[in-house]
Structure 1
């Protein structure tokens, strides 16, 4: 069984049930599955099948779901790409990923035209036509015109009886290019087995069912959304409430109108919802669970959100190379604030030292993972693969500790640890203290060069009260942190740099400081 087959089976069992709402329009499982089959047939007619790579340059929309599942049904592997990446970033992934077909927003046609000479492997460009679509006559002068196809026409011309043999479980299904902290992004090859097992195990762990209505506002091209908010609910017959772009106003509206049961977001999203003045607990009273991931959620933010909206936030952990989920706070036992929870079904997590030996309970080391969800390697990168995968274990690069009950706590990224005069300082512990201050909205800590100590802690904050001073915040930190952990400098910003999922980018702040 794989994701595409499971969707087809769900359509046979629950054909009339709503698979998703988009722009307040409902689409049933039968309608979705038919569109997927027709699109797969369209790809097959273009000569796209087993071994080929299809890139998705799309935001949150039915096009993404149909494009991904249709490509998988045709036997191709999918490469999701953030559509707001720069031309250089998009070009690198398409070129490195040996992409044969691109499924793209119509607004990106000019970009594709400009990039075309550098993308010789791309034979087809499938444009998702919208109400703002460029008329076909306007495209006829483009050099890429012979390669252009229209998404809607491919579906309308497709055969709904198209079938092909099931894919091998160990064939590559999705290649996710990780942003990384240095160098070019690497393509994590996830197999059908990886994706199916992680969606199933995550869904079972979080008790996702056909009764769930899941707010889908995390970017679909990001692995957190792909598995937890898209694949797991569709696998279990749930209903997606697709939100193209995160907006607190829209989240509260959607939640109330459709009686949403599940919300998943990164900490920044929770912060925005908490700060939104018109949001109330009444709007979210249908929620049975909120899920947090993508980066560590400050404990102060978690507690404030739960108290205001009377919901439980279950924090988890994952990474692209693990499809992504490895841990979640369990629903049948107490949730521990600050913890990423326990190992999900069929996945092992453990903490090791520099030699790969397991460390005692409570001691900090590197988190490593093993299970059917772990990638088979990086695309065309054997050295990077060998560094990440050792004896069947995936080395995550995250520092963590485990308590006596098997709950894991992320301490920080191994590469982002600050060493002050020989002492280890984890950015997260400094940030946690800052988040406890009632006037701090966001905080980030980095290490900067220091002639005496090697490194010093520098923090960046966004605050409610503009009259708050650096001295007041530093004095606050002195009350709660050891002397060597206290920030040597605190800089006030209007906002902190974030990626498209809302994760605060410490490395951008550090790069800016070093360039000054």
Structure 2
């Protein structure tokens, strides 16, 4: 790997990067979804037509909201906005109405593009009604319906003569999930995203013959960067699937597409394994887990049932998103791998935390800054504070101990909620345990653990913790059974909902 020669140009426009590839490989099928398939040439024509339609309907709004499903249509709009030097703001359709309105206010949006069919299918009519009080809504169906023969000829001619334009540095805005406060806008530049793609290519071998299977929505930074932009600017085909929750259908779709690269979360992998056969996953070459800790039972299932080593990685919306990643050549189970090239890390001590410290990062993929509701743009300092407690071992592998927010302070001691979940997994042999902390008048905070496993014995867990010579502060004050664990749109457990549930159960 020629890491030292890796250089990221100062001026990057993702539309121009896509045009370079489209000129070189016009006939290659580059992006598909469940109902359409696009060669580079067809995609470029569609983007050229879309950019003109957007000029007519959106005008020169600096920022434009996208409230769309994981389909090629959304990627066409995305690149149409890149061409027009406008900033797409990707709205998370799994957020509640209040959070969506907060995002619209945070980014000062005047227009949001959505789809009637999507709103109807996803039953989002109420959210759209509330949005309409704040912004002008444009429907994809109307944009498509208004495309004339003249537009098509124009798009075709422009695709043939497309010259690269020197454009102002472009941006994309994604939003954090906003479980503790109003969602923050994360401002990523085209250079941030392009850098992250180049860093990844220098770190792990992605080939032009690879086929990416992407079930993650574009409002998820991995779904956007790796699943939707990387393919078009590097000549690697992608298949967009509308939802990661279709556990039975996804293994069939992977087999049909002959996908070689697949990314999901621990929770999703656990569910796919229940329905998938070894044959359905046999073309997969690189399988990456991110967003939450990969549990040992899931890791083992994939190894034993499918012969697949899941490569655990680590990322954040603020880093476009990839920070570190295990590879087949450099792999250490239980870690999130070494840093990708051009990234630097340091560990800052945290009072009360004995293992590791707060992970700080810098690199060309680190965001420009945040948009804060009511405050506007706040630039990112020299170091981005991840809020994660981590250790870096002598070989450069990163061990994530837990979110700083996922520590309970009990009787003056900092107790990792991740560690509580790990103890339950080791004791009962399953990873369906989710710990939260709530206020406690006597001890400061108490731990409540939720599980989908029936008849869990608190006595057995207590005995197990004792046998490990661990402090009894790791013993939850209560273990609650639930039918299913609420998830965020990214596939992470929704701990905020679980916290509220714990507060309502334990008065």
Q: Return the TM-score normalized by structure 1.
A: 0.86
Aligned to 1:204: 202
In 2, the alpha carbon distance for the partners of 1:112 and 1:493 equals 28
Aligned residues: 479
Aligned to 2:21: 10
In 1, the alpha carbon distance for the partners of 2:235 and 2:249 equals 24
* Greater Cα offset, 26-35 or 95-104: 95-104
Structure 2's unaligned 5+ residue stretches are 1-11
Out of 384, 392, 403, the residue aligned to residue 402 of structure 1 is 392
Aligned to 2:260: 261
Question: Would you say 1:471 and 2:459 are equivalent positions?
Answer: yes
Out of 353, 356, 364, the residue aligned to residue 356 of structure 2 is 364
Distance change (3 Å), C-alpha of 1:111 and 1:514: closer
The answer (yes or no) to whether the contact 2:13–2:82 under 8 Å persists in 1 is: no
* Greater Cα offset, 470-479 or 412-421: 470-479
Question: Would you say 1:35 and 2:46 are equivalent positions?
Answer: yes
Distance change (3 Å), C-alpha of 1:112 and 1:423: closer
In 1, the alpha carbon distance for the partners of 2:235 and 2:480 equals 48
Out of 60, 72, 79, the residue aligned to residue 62 of structure 1 is 72
Aligned to 1:338: 334
Out of 268, 279, 283, the residue aligned to residue 280 of structure 2 is 283
Aligned to 1:353: 349
Give per-residue Cα distances to partners, 1:68-115, cap 9 Å, x unaligned.
111111110011112243332222222331223321021438547733
Aligned to 1:249: 248
How big is the shift at 1:416? 1.9
Aligned to 1:433: 423
Distance change (3 Å), C-alpha of 1:302 and 1:489: same
1:259-338 alignment runs, 5 A limit: 259-276=258-275, 279-333=276-330, 335-338=331-334
Question: Would you say 1:150 and 2:106 are equivalent positions?
Answer: no
1:99-110 alignment runs, 5 A limit: 99-107=109-117, 108=119, 110=125
Distance change (3 Å), C-alpha of 1:230 and 1:439: same
In 1, the alpha carbon distance for the partners of 2:236 and 2:287 equals 16
The answer (yes or no) to whether the contact 1:53–1:99 under 8 Å persists in 2 is: yes
CA RMSD of aligned residues (A): 2.6
How big is the shift at 1:514? 2.0
How big is the shift at 1:494? 0.9
In 1, the alpha carbon distance for the partners of 2:443 and 2:94 equals 40
* Greater Cα offset, 478-487 or 175-184: 478-487
How big is the shift at 1:496? 1.0
Distance change (3 Å), C-alpha of 1:116 and 1:401: closer
Aligned to 1:389: 380
Give per-residue Cα distances to partners, 1:300-338, cap 9 Å, x unaligned.
3223322221112111111111111111113422x1122
Name the structure, 1 or 2, with higher relative contact order (CA <8 Å, separation 6+).
2
Distance change (3 Å), C-alpha of 1:25 and 1:511: same
Out of 438, 448, 460, the residue aligned to residue 438 of structure 2 is 448
In 1, the alpha carbon distance for the partners of 2:203 and 2:166 equals 27
Out of 118, 126, 140, the residue aligned to residue 133 of structure 2 is 118
How big is the shift at 1:53? 0.9
In 2, the alpha carbon distance for the partners of 1:414 and 1:252 equals 35
Out of 13, 22, 31, the residue aligned to residue 20 of structure 1 is 31
In 2, the alpha carbon distance for the partners of 1:385 and 1:403 equals 36
* Greater Cα offset, 185-194 or 433-442: 433-442
In 2, the alpha carbon distance for the partners of 1:448 and 1:88 equals 24
The answer (yes or no) to whether the contact 1:199–1:228 under 8 Å persists in 2 is: yes
Distance change (3 Å), C-alpha of 1:258 and 1:24: farther
In 2, the alpha carbon distance for the partners of 1:441 and 1:83 equals 28
Q: Return the TM-score normalized by structure 2.
A: 0.87
Question: Would you say 1:492 and 2:488 are equivalent positions?
Answer: no
Out of 489, 494, 511, the residue aligned to residue 500 of structure 2 is 511
Give per-residue Cα distances to partners, 1:272-301, cap 9 Å, x unaligned.
02233xx22222111111111112222332
Q: Structure 1 segments of 4 or more deviating over 6 A?
A: 381-385
How big is the shift at 1:430? 1.7
How big is the shift at 1:467? 4.4
In 2, the alpha carbon distance for the partners of 1:331 and 1:155 equals 50
Question: Would you say 1:185 and 2:195 are equivalent positions?
Answer: no
Aligned to 2:3: none
